[in-house]
Chains A and B, each alone.
Chain A
Amino acid sequence: MEAFFMSYNPQMTRTLFTRGNAATHTGDTNKTSLFTYAMKAGTMGVNDYLEMWMFRGWTNSANNKLYEVAMNGTNIFSRTVNTTASSIGVVTVTNRNSLSSQLLFVLSADIGLGISGTTNSTISVDTSVDVTFEWFVTLTNSSETAGVQAVVLSLYKAPS
């Protein structure tokens, strides 16, 4: 039996970062940073949980567009898109009773829910130090466009 929560504390949940103005890229095929967010050292505790909703839009064509989201250089999302135009999905990162071990769903999941033939992912990012989140796109046809329309990154503190 796990612990249960006995009193309400608004600090148990925090919206760390929101962005509602689109950031897009076109003009070259370089891996391009759209924006970043810096999470302060120790913000995320040993059993805390990050939830990131992301709304993306891109040129609908057969050419690949690669989206990546990195947490201090380690990808927490990596998906190639082409003949669709947009998607909204969720990425979750849970500290596994440690400040430096995390569990993710499948890195390339579109919506981030449902079944997958690929096993869940684990990463090792030290959350006891400042952690930078960075959103990237890479085009294969420089005349096209790919971007992130909106992001909400929230932190849920595990009850003790």
Chain B
Amino acid sequence: MSYLPLQAVPLLIRGAASSHTGNTSDTSLRSVTLKANTMGPNDMLEIWSMWNVQANNANAKTATIKFGSTTYLSMSLASTRAFRDVCHIYAKGATNAQCGFSISDNDSTGSSTAIVTSTEDTTTDLLIDFRGQLGVGSDTITCDQVAVILWKKS
């Protein structure tokens, strides 16, 4: 039996906060470009992110992670303070088919959210985008930390 060793390749790690306040526009807080052909047909992206909202109130605050044009995380942060997510995006044996999942429950891995599928073309540059949107512009949403790790098999 032969095997190819897995390699974990950090694409982006940031522990310094990036915040948004002042309006209700969907706003990019941090992003990284997955360069064309970096992700192979059997590779996996592991995306860790840590979010914070300064006011624990009922106003809408939404944390989003987009992979190309596909939303892999959309998490309501109303009436809470912090959120820790890990999102996995698996290439499904092709460079234009993926599936994945994010956390969307209270300190657990259970979720009623369906698995996300996408048809992003990883032979082209793709943006991995961490976005925040407020329901009330005077609130604040912060992307505190991100780590984007590419697990290479092929």
Contacts and interface: CB of A to CB of B under 8 A. Distances in A.
Give the size range of B's interface with the partner: 35 or more
Interface in A7-24: 8-10, 12-13
Chain B binding surface, main DSSP class: strand
Interface in B1-34: 7-17, 30-34
A116 B83 contact: yes
B142 to A, nearest CB: 9
The main secondary structure of chain A at its interface with chain B is: loop
Contacts, number: 146
B139 interface: no
Nearest to A109: B107
Given A4-B35, A6-B35, A116-B83, A96 B15 contact: yes
A113 B82 contact: no
Interface in B72-122: 75, 77, 80-86, 103, 105-109
Given A4-B32, A120-B82, A115 B77 contact: yes
B81 A116 contact: yes
Interface residues of A, number: 42
A159 B9 CA distance: 9
Interface string A76-113: 00000000000000101011110000110110011111
Most chain B beta carbons < 10 A, residue from A12, A97, A118, A120: A120
A115 B76 CA distance: 10
Interface of B: 7-17, 30-35, 38, 48, 50, 52, 56, 75, 77, 80-86, 103, 105-109, 144-145, 147, 149-150, 152
